[in-house]
Amino acid sequence: MKYKPNAYLVRERSSCYAVKVSLPLYMRSLFGNRTAFMRSTGTTDIREARVIRDRIMYEFFTIRDRLKPKPQGNCVDRVLKELRQVDQYVTQNVGIDFATARVCPSLVQLRDELIVQHSDRRKLSTLSKYIKAVEVFTAHFRCKDFRLHEINRTMVTDWLDNAKLERATQTLANYLGCLSQLVALAQNRYHDAPKENVFTAHKLDVRHDRESYEPFSG
């Protein structure tokens, strides 16, 4: 796996370097329910620390890939499922006049609003991306939905730090783009929407992402 020269390396008070990596949810129980794995390299030399880091991360990624839950069904099945979800959301919300809403909707409600608004003008495959983005974000916090004012920038960066272990940077940039558009929709329509869009300005290094990726893959 490719990563930046000093990725996963932090400086301890002793001036030695330590390897630190966020733990995905399915691995935390193996590490005392901690959110991060951290081990000292025992050296203050950055070059030696990188060599030790590479060995540790190789083993970590091997274990992570072995434990990572496997998505059910093949790629085609998952795509068809997402498209059926779009059709289901449109059908369920037929006749709802979102323009009469008095207060800013939740993240899931905004997703449904956008899907209904654009169901005649955008492809189902495009709309399914918004479903996936909301699903991945809320699943990280084991929560079905959020009011927009409940979401802060720290939550978003925490989600990104964990998601980077499993998904390519370009995929995360796509998720952020969809989530950002939902907040922008709220800002354009509702007086009580958050003033700040916490899904913007995260500066993901997409250009230097050398890994291949599958857009919005499970």
Q: In whole angstroms, what separates CA 61 from the centre of its chain? A: 19
Whether 194 maps to a domain, the answer reads: no
Top-confidence residue, 102 or 56: 56
Whether 218 maps to a domain, the answer reads: no
Q: What is the pLDDT of residue 215?
A: 44
How many folded domains does the chain comprise? 2
Average confidence score pLDDT of the chain: 83
- 105 and 185 inside one domain: yes
Whether 82 maps to a domain, the answer reads: yes
Asked if residue 25 lies in contact with residue 140, where contact means CB atoms within 8 angstroms, the answer is yes
Whether 202 maps to a domain, the answer reads: no
CB atoms within 10 A of CB 82: 19
Whether 38 maps to a domain, the answer reads: yes
Mean pLDDT of 2-14: 87
Mean pLDDT of 102-122: 85
- 88 and 180 inside one domain: yes
Any idea which of 81-85, 101-105, 142-146 has the lowest mean pLDDT? Answer: 81-85
Q: What is the pLDDT of residue 122?
A: 73
Burial of 204 (0-12, 13-18, 19+ CB in 10 A): middle
pTM: 0.61
- 169 and 125 inside one domain: yes
Last residue of a domain, one of 39, 67, 95: 67
